Amino acid sequence: MNFGTTEILLIVAVLFLLFGASRLPQLAKSLGQSRKAFKEGMREAEEDERSDQQKLSSNTARPQVTAVSDEELEAEMRRRAEARAEH
């Protein structure tokens, strides 16, 4: 949405009529401070999210895959089945 010079002047004139010349600098200052605080909050939230993701990725241990023979696998399955049956 592009505003031309005429539209901007009309908006400024309406603002002068609504708020008066003395209140406009205060409104502009508070708007700037609000915008700055919003951007800072967004930046902090992004940094927190990045640090959380880094913690999750660094704490996750990758499983080790080893070669197991069929006999060893069957023996392990029997051992676990027996352990379940005992409980």
Tens digits of per-residue pLDDT, 71-81? 999 999 999 99
In a domain, 44, yes or no: yes
Q: Which residues of the chain have pLDDT under 50?
A: none
Residue 44 pLDDT: 96
In a domain, 82, yes or no: no
In a domain, 70, yes or no: no
Residue 1 pLDDT: 67
Residue 45 pLDDT: 94
Provide the residue range defining the domain that includes 55.
21-59
In a domain, 45, yes or no: yes
DSSP annotation of 14? H
Read off the pTM. Answer: 0.47
In a domain, 50, yes or no: yes
In a domain, 39, yes or no: yes
Q: How far apart are CA 75 and CA 71, in angstroms?
A: 6
**Number of domains composing the chain:** 1
Q: How far apart are CA 8 and CA 73, in angstroms?
A: 77
